[in-house]
């Protein structure tokens, strides 16, 4: 059901998930911040948490590196779905492949030759099977890269998906799995994951097996709606879920509605963050709010971090 959901722009909520491994050695947090202050919570927790691995699972629009300044130590290619390719030498221009492609990925050029639009090809191989001239083959497709890096807050695993490439959660799983290996090898207590937005495959891949999801929402109708959808998902997977209301003072009525929703649905409120331009200022200066300012909001985020830690006790 969830895999059919289409990611839409303009989410006004964010999500943090925390999880422990079976040996109780590592705990995982997924943070999914979907507004313009996306790296705020994750990066702030990165500054506060001890002995952890950072992970950016929002591979479509990774941005944790903006605040954590990772130094890349290892770089790997991520192979996506293989794409069809037509050999012009073998092709007889019969047009059968174009007839069967449901994704309109077979294009007839002005010079009457057929070729594959790689961005539209879904790798289903139907064209390859129907081609009477055996002119179509499937080719490896490098869909992105993933990295193991070092930051001043500890190791970080992150990735970059290529333009118009499908994620489908595979790259998220690769990144998460490698973060777990590093955490086990280096005996880390915690894995903090900056998760993707929405409720589709990348989110499911991000929250699988985690301990706590922390949703950071904003007091708007769409913020409430997006939050409800994520809560539906976390309930489905039986993952503990908490809420942070960001910019809570900008719409008091809506903040109260979110709080009421949490009470009625037995969802814990981890904390509220008031609007403060210093957050944008800290991001513009490429620093976490913890290192940038000692303001009320910084104390607020520290208290939220305390709350999350207590949830593990
Ligand atoms: S089915 Fe094969 S031979 Fe026919 S147009 Fe397509 S690639 Fe060329
Ligand atoms: S592999 Fe599938 S999607 Fe890609 S061109 Fe062939 S029929 Fe179309």
pLDDT averages per 10-residue partition of the chain, 313 residues:
34 48 58 58 88 87 86 94 95 97 95 93 96 96 94 93 78 91 90 82 83 87 88 89 91 96 93 89 88 89 90 72
Tally of CB atoms within 10 A around 282: 26
* Shortest-distance ligand to the CA of residue 100: 2
Does any ligand 2 atom lie closer than 6 A to the CB of residue 116?
yes
What φ, ψ does residue 181 adopt, rounded to 5°? Answer: -60, -45
Closest CA to 35 of 159, 197, 158: 197
pLDDT of 29 reads 66
pLDDT of 23 reads 53
pLDDT of 208 reads 81
pLDDT of 250 reads 93
Domains annotated on the chain, with CATH? 2-58+188-311 (3.40.50.300), 83-140 (3.30.70.20)
Question: How far is ligand 1, taken at its centre, from the CA of residue 82, in Å?
Answer: 18
- Give me the helix-helix angle, 277-284 and 39-48, nearest 10°: 80
Does any ligand 1 atom lie closer than 6 A to the CB of residue 162?
no
Residue 140 CA to residue 11 CA, distance in Å, equals: 33
* Shortest-distance ligand to the CA of residue 88: 1
Locate the ligand 2 atom nearest the alpha carbon of residue 104 and give its number: 8
- Ligand 1: which of 94, 113, 115 to mutate, most ligand atoms within 8 Å of CB? 94
DSSP string, 165-180: ---TTHHHHHHHHHHH
Question: How far is ligand 1, taken at its centre, from the CA of residue 123, in Å?
Answer: 16
pLDDT of 9 reads 38
Does any ligand 2 atom lie closer than 6 A to the CB of residue 127?
yes
* Whole-structure pTM value: 0.83
Question: How far is ligand 2, taken at its centre, from the CA of residue 101, in Å?
Answer: 5
Does any ligand 2 atom lie closer than 6 A to the CB of residue 103?
yes
Closest CA to 156 of 79, 36, 57: 57
Residue corresponding to tokens 């930051």? 151
Does any ligand 2 atom lie closer than 6 A to the CB of residue 138?
no
Question: How far is ligand 2, taken at its centre, from the CA of residue 105, in Å?
Answer: 6
Does any ligand 2 atom lie closer than 6 A to the CB of residue 107?
no
Does any ligand 2 atom lie closer than 6 A to the CB of residue 275?
no
Do residues 248 and 274 touch, judged by C-beta distance below 8 A?
Answer: yes
pLDDT of 8 reads 37
């Amino acid at each position: 059901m969830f895999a059919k959901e289409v990611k839409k722009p303009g989410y006004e909520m964010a999500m943090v998930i925390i999880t422990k491994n079976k040996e109780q050695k590592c705990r995982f947090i997924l943070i999914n911040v979907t507004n313009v202050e996306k790296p705020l919570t994750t990066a702030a927790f990165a500054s506060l948490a001890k002995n952890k691995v950072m992970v950016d699972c929002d591979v479509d629009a990774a941005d944790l590196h903006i605040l954590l300044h990772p130094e890349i130590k290892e770089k790997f290619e991520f192979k996506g779905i293989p794409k069809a390719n037509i050999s012009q030498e073998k092709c007889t221009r019969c047009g059968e492949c174009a007839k069967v492609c449901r994704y309109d990925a077979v294009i007839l050029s002005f010079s009457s030759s057929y070729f594959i639009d790689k961005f539209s090809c879904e790798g289903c191989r139907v064209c390859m099977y129907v081609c009477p001239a055996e002119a179509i083959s499937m080719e490896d497709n490098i869909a992105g890269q993933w990295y193991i890096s070092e930051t001043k807050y500890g190791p970080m695993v992150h990735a970059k998906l290529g333009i118009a490439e499908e994620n489908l959660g595979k790259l998220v799983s690769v990144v998460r799995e490698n973060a777990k290996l590093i955490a086990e090898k280096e005996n880390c207590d915690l894995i903090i994951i900056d998760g993707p937005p929405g409720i589709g495959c990348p989110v499911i891949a991000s929250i699988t097996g985690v301990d706590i999801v922390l949703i950071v929402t904003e007091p708007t109708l769409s913020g409430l709606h997006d939050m409800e959808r994520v809560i539906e998902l976390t309930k489905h997977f039986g993952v503990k879920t908490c809420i942070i209301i960001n910019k809570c003072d900008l719409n008091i009525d809506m903040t109260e509605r979110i709080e009421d929703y949490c009470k009625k649905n037995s969802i814990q409120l981890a904390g509220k963050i008031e609007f403060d331009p210093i957050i944008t200022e800290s991001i513009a200066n490429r620093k976490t709010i913890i290192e940038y300012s000692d303001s009320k909001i910084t104390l607020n985020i520290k208290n939220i971090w305390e709350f999350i830690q207590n949830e593990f006790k």
